[in-house]
Each structure stands twice: as structure tokens, then as C-alpha cells.
Amino acid sequence: MSPITPSEVARTSVVRTVAELRSRLAAHRRTGLTIGLVPTMGALHEGHLSLIRHARARCERVVVSLFVNPAQFNERSDLERYPRRERDDVALAVEAGADVLFAPSVEEVYPPGFATSVEVLGLTDRLEGAARGSEHFRGVATVVTKLLCMAMPDVAYFGQKDAQQVLVIRRLAADLNLPVRIEALPTVREPDGLAMSSRNALLDPDQRVRALALSAALDRVGELATAGERSAEALLAAAHATLSSAGVSPEYVALVEPDTLEPIDRLTGEALLAIAARIGDVRLIDNATLRPTPAAPSSQRLPGETITRCNA
């Protein structure tokens, strides 16, 4: 995809520098307009667009960043293969309600001599942090902190598909006293259940079918929990079995506390089920929140009846 032309930049409010971004937003901020930020790495899909539309409905000005952050990629080949289609992204974002597209260069975000990083301890040691290394979340935390400082939004919107990332960003915003509300929206899925991801475009037809094993595993665990299964060991075994039947070997399958990511032994309250797996050379993640439903009062049960439900 060729870069957009100068005339297209003018029509679609694309800015390339922090100075331009702040200048564009200064008047809005002075008049008290609410500013929403949707950070993305481009290759926009319906998941991103739902965030932009949500921001449009609640904020008076919407900024969308388009920046493939090299600092959060562990493998150079993964960075080089990541889809880039700026012209399409600009058109989609504007149609969804974006007022400003911030598409900086790597040098604008990480200028010569850049030597600062942001690291959130504890939450980044497990799941994605354990699988991808500490540098991944250091890269995420650093670039998100920079974007929040560059745009200074009132609200920033993220997708719950990256559940661990949302926790990390909420933690850094709280710890650094950043005046922004972090809002997460539910995962958007394809009609067949596959969680929308920019990486899905890299799957060939056979891999696309195999990728459905991730959502199928989440559904299977949800069914078992609804039927009353509370053992984490049994629930995780079911997820592994579903993945294995599709020929998928996960990097991890974990049932954890949703706020701390600490592993749990038994499903007694809300929990996060998280999965990561490689389908060919494409790494995908997915998750679901399990919410056990309290048993009905004894006066509503038949004698000897036990009711246990869990909605995934």
C-alpha cells in the first residue's frame, strides 16, 4: 500500500508529529471538549472500529493513533510481517468517527538518544510476559504512556481481547497519576467465533479453520462451568483437549484471578480464562471471563436439588 498523498492528509486530518497533534487538540481542550483516544497499530478491523464508534458516541473529539510499535515485538520477522495499510486505515477510521489520525514515524516516537522506559512489575511476569519476555510489556507500557502524554485524552479505549494489557495500562495510569480513564470494551468476534485480530489476515485457509480451536476451547470451558464444574484442573484439561483435537499446541492455557492474574485452583468467583497459541507462524491470543451465578434460594428449589451455573 502506497503512502497517502498530501491532499489526502489534508482531507482526513492525519498528523505526523507530536507538535501537530497538540496544536490540533489545543483549541478543543481550551473549550472543554471531551477527548477520546483509541490507540492502535493499524490494520484496522471491526474490533478497532467498534472502539472508535464507542468513543465517537461518548466524546466530542476522537483521536486514533496508527503506530506499529517496534518496542513490543520480540521477533523482527513478526514486526516485518505485521500488516500495514495506512490508506485503508485512514478511510475506515474517519468513517467510524475519528477526527484526528495520529500516524507518527518511529523516529518521532523514539527520537535519537531516547533512553526512557516504563515498566509495570508483577502483572507483567506471567501469561504474555512469561511467553514473550519482559521487553514486550515494557514496550507496551512505554508507548502507551507516551501516547497518553502526547494526546492527553480524557478517556482511552482498549479491547478486552488484550485483557492483560488492559490491566497493565490501568496500573500504569494509576501509578503515574495520569489524568485519564481507561475503558475496556468486549472482544469483537467473527461470526464463527474467532476473535478479531490484525494477525488473522496472515492465516491461510487451513490455519484459519484451526484457529477456531481457541474460541472453541473457551466455549467448552464455559459449558462445563455452567454445568457446575469448579475444578480448575478439570476445566483446563478440557481446554487442552479441545485444542489438541484441532492439532493446536498452546503456549499457555491459564485460569486466573481477573485483577491480579494469580492462578486459581477452584472457580469460586469471577475468573479469566486466557489462551495463547501459534497457528503456523501466526501467534494468536484469546480469553473469556467466567462468572459463576449464585445458586437460587432454597425456597426456589425442589427438595434435594442443587443448582450451580456459570455464564462465560
Confidence of residue 93 (pLDDT cuts 50, 70, 90): very high
Residues with catalytic annotation? 48
pLDDT per position as a tens digit, 215-252: 999 999 999 999 999 999 999 999 999 999 999 999 99
> What is the pLDDT at residue 296?
47
**Residues 312, 215 contacting (CB under 8 angstroms):** no
pLDDT per position as a tens digit, 124-143: 999 999 999 889 999 999 99
Confidence of residue 12 (pLDDT cuts 50, 70, 90): low
For helices 232-245 and 212-226, the axis angle rounded to 10 degrees is 150
Give the list of residues 6+ apart from residue 256 with CB closer than 8 angstroms, or none: 126, 127, 262, 263, 264, 271, 272, 274
Q: Report the topology of domain 6-185.
A: Rossmann fold (3.40.50)
Does residue 119 carry a pLDDT above 90? yes
> What is the pLDDT at residue 259?
96
> What is the pLDDT at residue 94?
96
Query: In CATH, what number does 198-311 get?
Result: 3.30.1300.10
Percent of the chain with pLDDT over 70: 90
> What is the pLDDT at residue 301?
38
Angle at 46 between CA 44 and CA 52, to 5 degrees: 75
pTM assigned to the model: 0.88
Q: What is the 3-state secondary structure (H, E, C) of 176-230?
A: CCCCCEEEEECCCECCCCCECCHHHHHCCHHHHHHCHHHHHHHHHHHHHHHCCCC
Does residue 3 carry a pLDDT above 90? no
Does residue 304 carry a pLDDT above 60? no
pLDDT per position as a tens digit, 205-215: 999 999 999 99
Instruction: Give me the mean pLDDT over the 270-284 stretch.
Output: 97
Domains in the chain: boundaries = 6-185, 198-311
Own/partner contacts of 289-296, CB < 8 Å, gap of 24 or more, are 289/258, 290/221, 290/222, 290/225, 290/255, 292/225, 292/230, 292/267, 292/268
> What is the pLDDT at residue 13?
83
Q: What letter does residue 292 receive in the DSSP assignment?
A: E
Q: Give the residue from 284, 271, 257 showing the smallest Cα distance to 162.
A: 284
Q: Which cell is 57 given?
A: 458516541
pLDDT per position as a tens digit, 155-189: 999 999 999 999 999 999 999 999 999 999 999 99
**Residues 69, 139 contacting (CB under 8 angstroms):** yes
> What is the pLDDT at residue 41?
94
How high is the mean pLDDT of the chain?
Answer: 91
Does residue 104 carry a pLDDT above 80? yes
Backbone torsions φ then ψ of 41, nearest 5 degrees: -105, 25
Through-space distance between the first and last CA atoms of the chain, rounded to whole angstroms: 40
Does residue 88 carry a pLDDT above 70? yes
Confidence of residue 290 (pLDDT cuts 50, 70, 90): very high
